[in-house]
Amino acid sequence: MATSAPDNAISATPTSVGTRGTVAPAFVRGMLAGALHNGHDAATLLAAVGIAPDCLNDDGARVPLAAYAALYNHLNSVLDDEAFGLFQTPMRAGCFEFLCRATITAPQLGEALARASRFLHAVLPDMRVSVEREGSSALLRIAERRPLAVERVFAYEWLLRLLHGLACWLVGRGIALDAVDFPYPRPAHADDYALIYTASSRFDAPQLTARIAANLLELPIRRDEAALQRFLDGAPGKLTMLYRNDRELVMRVRDHLRAALPELPELEDTAAALHLTPRTLNRRLADEGSSFRAIKDALRRDIALARIAKSTQPVATLAADLGYADPSAFYRAFVGWTGVSPSAYRRRLHTA
């Protein structure tokens, strides 16, 4: 029997407020699907984390991200299933912790993802995960071993988010998904994919394929036992809040740096402009899964890739526009981002 929402329940945010720090109701419906399939009451589950149930019937609304993360952890606890009852075999509570433990001792990201795929093969037999190199790209593939009976779209959304968020945390930086092909028609809430995955999302593919730069597989793992203990406080739900494109302070810092180009302020100047101490700025960026250096590097990378792809601007001019005093420093950075030189990257795009 449905229960009414408590007086302090969080109502869904109107779309006009914007999408930063919120998710579309379709993600909430997807997360609840397995529980409802097993006889649980949606209103009761939502009330436990302060979400008003009317959001389920209003596609124009938005659900606060913090409440969504709380629902994630609540459902894991209620169902004793960290995969929300979506699969034939439950992924029992504790699996995420041991997935992290299996990966933090890997020397590099490529090996960590290989271990993750083997671990998931054991605890999530409905799905097949693999990572392979293809030229200058690495392909993360996710496919069904047997047809999914409950909320197929969310199952893919969740597993990609889990693996991508974990990979970012392991190396201590955001990892750009260059493109993702999803194995289903474009859903009504696909606009959120630009915030969660990438703006380069395509649909109706035979399997899910997420593409990243191959050289990123060589990034060293930067987490240890102490970092894991901190990370597990609030995990795995906290993954929904980390390494998204709509993190509030990350975006404020990014906007500040973009406005200052070609000069790029240092941490102390940026903190002062945002009315924060450098220590507070560092701490809050870490809470959002980022750092000042990572934001600066990502801004330069994103602008560089866009201009190389869409303009004929000389490389030396682009380097100066991005605050590089020496074009050779920009060249080295670009090779680190893509695995190839700026000119080779431009030729590859124009001949594709």
More confident residue, 36 or 340: 36
User: Structure tokens of 59?
Assistant: 């596609």
Closest CA to 127 of 206, 184, 207: 207
Top pLDDT among 19 and 217 is at 217
pLDDT for res 264: 87
pLDDT at 308: 87
333 in Cβ contact with 300 (< 8 Å): yes
- The CA-CA-CA angle for residues 236, 83, 115, to 5°, reads 70
Its sign, for the CA torsion 4, 7, 10, 16, is positive
Which residues does 169 contact at the CB level (< 8 Å), separation at least 6?
A: 223, 231, 239, 242, 243, 289
Which of 112-116, 192-196, 244-248, 250-254 is predicted least confidently? 244-248
Per-residue pLDDT averaged across 301-327, rounded?
88
pLDDT band at 130; cut points 50, 70, 90 = very high
CA distance 122 to 74: 24
d(CA 336, CA 245): 21
- CA-nearest of 34, 22, 38 to 83 is 34
Of 57-71, 192-206, 244-258, 268-282, minimum mean pLDDT range: 244-258
Summarize the confidence of residues 63-80 as an average pLDDT.
Answer: 95
- The pLDDT of residue 220: 95
* Closest residue by Cα to residue 82 from 192, 170, 162: 162
pLDDT band, very low/low/confident/very high, at 352 (cuts 50, 70, 90): low
Q: Which CATH architecture has domain 247-351?
A: Orthogonal Bundle (1.10)
pLDDT for 20 equals: 55
How confident is the model at residue 330, as a pLDDT? 93
Residue 301 pLDDT more than 80? yes
Q: What is the DSSP string of 4-55?
A: PPPTTPBPPEEGGG-STTEE-HHHHHHHHHHHHHTT--HHHHHHTTTB-GGG
Of 124 and 290, the structure prediction assigns the larger pLDDT to 124
Q: At what angle do helices 278-287 and 292-310 cross, to 10 degrees?
A: 70
**Contact by Cβ (8 Å): 26, 188:** yes
Pick from 178-187, 282-291, 321-330 the range whose average pLDDT is largest: 178-187
Question: Which residues make up the CATH 1.10.10.60 domain(s) of the chain?
Answer: 247-351
- From the list 284, 275, 176, 288, the residue with the least C-alpha distance to 240 is 288
